[in-house]
Amino acid sequence: MNVPFFNYQDLYLKDKIIVDQAIESVMNKGAFILQKELADFEKYLAHYTGAKFALGVANGTDALWLAMMACGLKPGDEVLMPSHTYVATPAAANFIGLNPILVDCNDDHLMCIDDMKEKISPKTRAIIPVQLNGRTLNMAELLSIADQNSLLVIEDAAQGLGSKYNGQMAGTFGLAGTYSFYPAKTLGCFGDGGAIVTNDELLFNKLYELRDHGRNKSGEYQRWGLNSRLDNLQAAILLGKIKVLKQEIKRRREIAEKYHIFLSIIPDLCLPPDPSSSENHFDTYQNYEIECGDRDNLKSFLSSKGIGTIIQWGGQAVHQIKALGLYNNLPKTDRLFNKCLLLPMNTTLTSFQVDYVIESIKEFYK
Ligand SMILES: *Cc1c(COP(=O)(O)O)cnc(C)c1O
């Protein structure tokens, strides 16, 4: 049996009816840029997340830097974020002159709030929590610290769509939240895509203008802007797919439950919190990131069995990437990156494939 880490071809086959319908309709209408499907998707996304406003943009990285810029952050401002994130999070900050300050991680692999507190300085202006692997941080605690220190909160929820803390959706806690629709994300399109949500109407209007050459809803120029539109074809596909997102998340949680039941007995492994482990968290398992003492041997053994696994971000947390010059002493993240591994986790996996992954891991530890 073969279990690729991610099967991009099956992504189309799995949702063929939805995708074909969306493409045919948009093609026949010739409606490609800033059309009804985009507006409908934005409306649906706002409704789904519980935010007042949603705006489609070109990708999740643009969503981040547009949100940071529109919130009024200025060159030289320090922004706190975890080192265990995609390079896009600090890159978005760096791109507009902000100074990303990297924070250590917790046992659940998300940003450590205690370490974050220590790193607040007179120059700190914002916190960018990353809702990693489909899990939302303890946002009650984070917001109270942000409040005490007058810091803005912009959530990188690229991996967090649908995940909740205390019943509230990732992306909706701070001034703005961002999502990515990269194909491998929980809600993926067939190219690049992203979105920003906010409850602040002024901020929304500013973002609306920035995304499309500075033009407002009446087409009048209000400011300098650029082109970061989510194209209507991708929006139409996303509109079809977001309507079945609930089932997708249910399936991810089933797979996580199965991994938990059969793998939690192996002493060398440390697994993510299982789906029913906490009342406060609703996790969507964008990724299933385990820790294993014998990681590199397990990885090659699984590879010899035809099972693909990866180490997130190509094996380096952001502070470990020499070329970026953001070195910081983050012992927990360093330790994690000697042990972390992503097991296959997506909705193209069959139950046989999930069983095979489990059996193969058990065989390695036998
Ligand atoms: C995917 C991802 C992004 C960037 O999204 P793109 O759409 O690829 O630009 C940002 N942050 C995190 C945590 C991500 O996983």
DSSP per-residue string spanning 165-206: ETTEETTSSSSEEEEE--TTSSS--SS--EEEEES-HHHHHH
pTM, two decimals, is 0.98
Asked, for residue 230, whether it belongs to a domain, the answer is: yes
- Shared domain for 259 and 237, answered yes or no, is no
Tell which of 186, 216, 242 closes a domain: 242
Q: Is there an atom of ligand 1 within 6 Å of 93 CB?
A: no
161, 250: one domain: no
* Shared-domain flag, residues 303 and 175: no
Substitution site in 131, 182, 189, 231 for ligand 1 pocket (most atoms within 8 Å of beta carbon): 182
- Same domain membership, residue 256 and residue 125: no
Verify that 48 and 189 share a domain, yes or no: yes
Q: Clarify whether residues 265 and 195 are in a common domain.
A: no
CA pair distance 193, 229, nearest whole angstrom: 9
| Any atom of ligand 1 within 6 Å of the Cβ of 59 | yes
Q: Is 32 helix (H, G, I), strand (E, B) or coil?
A: coil
pLDDT confidence bin for 278, thresholds 50/70/90 = confident
Same domain, residue pair 268 and 356: yes
Domain that holds residue 325: 245-365
What residues pair up with 130 in beta bridges, in sequence order? 156
Whether residues 360 and 215 share a domain: the answer is no
Q: Give the Å distance between the CA of 64 and the centre of ligand 1.
A: 9
Q: What is the pLDDT of residues 81-97, one digit of tens each?
A: 999 999 999 999 999 99
Q: How far is the CA of 129 from the centre of ligand 1 (A)?
A: 13
Compute how many other C-beta atoms are within 10 angstroms of the C-beta atom of residue 131: 31
- Both tokens of 269, joined, read 């492994």
How many domains, the chain? 2
| Alpha-carbon radius of gyration of the chain | 20
Q: What is the pLDDT of residues 178-198, one digit of tens each?
A: 999 999 999 999 999 999 999
pLDDT in tens, 279-324: 999 999 999 999 999 999 999 999 999 999 999 999 999 999 999 9
Crossing angle (nearest 10°) for helices 16-29 and 232-242 = 150
Q: pLDDT per residue over 19-53, tens digit each?
A: 999 999 999 999 999 999 999 999 999 999 999 99
Residue 191 identity (one-letter amino acid) = G
Statement to judge: residues 33 and 78 lie in one domain: yes
Among 89, 80, 87, 84, which Cα is nearest to 118's? 80
24 with 128, same domain?
yes
